[in-house]
Chain A
Amino acid sequence: MNNGFPQSVEKIVNDYLERLASRLKGMPDGDRRELVDEIRSHIFESYVNESAGDEIERILAVLRRLGDPADVISSRMPQAVTRLGKGKRAPLYILAGILIALLGVPLGMGAVALLVGLLAGLLGLLIAFYGAGVSLVVAGFLTSVVSAITIVAPGFIYSFNDAIGTEVVQFGPFQHNPQLAGIIGLIISLIVIGLGLLMLWSGKYIWRGFRFVIVLIGQKVRSIFDHWSRKNAKPLRI
C-alpha cells in the first residue's frame, strides 16, 4: 500500500508499524488492522506537516514524537504484555527472576530462620531474666523469714533440727551466737530481695528491646508488602 511516502521513508514506517502490530497479537484482527491504519494515517499527516531536514530526518522526528510502539498500545493490552512490551528490560526481569529463584529463596529462608532464632533467643533471655529475678525475690523472702525467726527464737530452729534428726540448719562460725547469724542472714536476704526487684524493674528495658525488634520486623515486612503491591498495581491504572 503506497500512501505517498518516498520509498526509503516507507520502509521505516513499515518497520515501525510491524513492530506495533507484533505487540498487538491477541487483539481481534479487525481491531488490529484499524489501529495500524490509524497510526499510519497519523504518521502521514505528521510527516507532511514536518518541514525541517531531509526525508529521513523528518520521518525520524515524526516517530520520535509519536513514541515507542509500547506507548501507543499501553492500556489496550493485558498488564503483563504491556510490561514486557516496554521492551529492552524484559531480559533483565527474567534474569532477576532466575537470580531470585536461585539465590533469593535460600537466602530468604536463612534470613527467616535467623529472625526466628533471634526472636526465640530474646524470648528465652527474657524468660530466664524474669525467672532469675522472681527466684531471687522468693529466696530472699524465705531466707529473711528464717533469719527473723532465728533472731527472735534461736531455739525454734534447733528444735527443727531435732525433729528431722540431722543438722539441717547450721550456723558455722556463729555456732555460739545464732542471733548474729540471723542478723547477717537477714541483711543478706534483704540485699537478695533488692537485687531480685532491681532485675524485675530493669527487665522492662529488655522487654522494650524485644518489642522494638518485633515492631521493626513488622514495619519492614509491611513496607516490603506495600512496595510490592504498589509495584504490581501500577500498570493497572491506565
Chain B
Amino acid sequence: MDVRILGMAMYQNDEIDNKITQLRKGILELAILSALHRKAHYGYSLVRDMAAAGVLDLKEGTIYPILSRLAKEKLVQSEWVESNQGPPRKYYSLTCSGRVMCEALNEEFRRLVRLVDNIATESVSIPQSQPGKRIIIGRQDNE
C-alpha cells in the first residue's frame, strides 16, 4: 500500500508539471498573437515586449517553435528586413486569419478567466460557511 501511495504522489507531481506546461504554452501562444496584433515584431523584440508586459518567465527560445507553428497554420507571415546594425531581422506579423483568430481567442480567454474566477471564489466560500466541521474533526483526532 505504501508503494501505491508513493507512486500516486510522484505521479501527481509529474501531472502538475505537465498541466502547468500545457497551460503556459497555450497562453504563450495567445500572448504572442496579441503582441503581434499590436505591431510586427522580430524574435528578440517580441521577447522583450512580452517580458516588459510581465509575461511568463521562460526560455526565450521557446517562442520560435510556436512562431513556426503559427506560420505553418498561416496565422502569421514573416519577412527578412535589413538592420542598420548586425544581421537582418526576421519580422513576423499577423495574417488576416491570424487577426481574426487572435480576436476570437482573446474573447474566449477572457470568458474562461471569468468562469474560473467565479468557480474558484464559490469553492473557497464553502468551507468558510461550515467552520463547525473543522472543530469536530480536530477533536476526534485528539481522542
Contacts and interface: CB of A to CB of B under 8 A. Distances in A.
Interface of A: 3-4, 34-35, 37-42, 44-46, 48-49, 65-69, 71-76, 227, 230, 234, 237-238
A67 B47 CA distance: 13
Given A41-B42, A42-B44, A45-B44, A67 B59 contact: yes
Interface of B: 11, 18, 22, 25, 42-45, 47-48, 59-62, 64-66, 68-69, 83, 85-90
Contact of A41 (B11, B59, B65, B90): B90
Label chain B's interface by main secondary structure: helix
A40 B65 contact: no
Contact of A42 (B25, B60, B69): B60
Contact of A66 (B45, B48, B59, B65): B59
A81 B69 CA distance: 17
A48 B59 contact: no
A13 to B, nearest CB: 11
Interface centre among B44, B45, B59, B89 (most CB of A within 10 A): B44
Contacts of B83: 41
Given A65-B59, A237-B22, A76 B65 contact: yes
A65 B43 CA distance: 13
B87 A41 contact: yes
Contact of A35 (B22, B62, B64, B87): B64
A45 B41 CA distance: 13
Which A-B residue pairs are the 4 nearest by beta carbons? A67-B59, A72-B61, A45-B44, A67-B61
Given A75-B69, A238-B25, A66 B60 contact: yes
Contacts of A75: 65-66, 69
A48 B86 contact: yes
B60 A67 contact: yes
Contacts of A40: 87
Contacts of B66: 75, 238
Interface centre among B43, B59, B61 (most CB of A within 10 A): B61
Given A66-B61, A68-B61, A41 B44 contact: yes
B25 A37 contact: no
B30 to A, nearest CB: 13
Contacts of A34: 90
B62 A44 contact: no
A122 B59 CA distance: 56
B60 A65 contact: yes
Contact of B65 (A42, A48, A72): A72
A49 B119 CA distance: 43
A39 B64 contact: yes
A41 B88 contact: yes
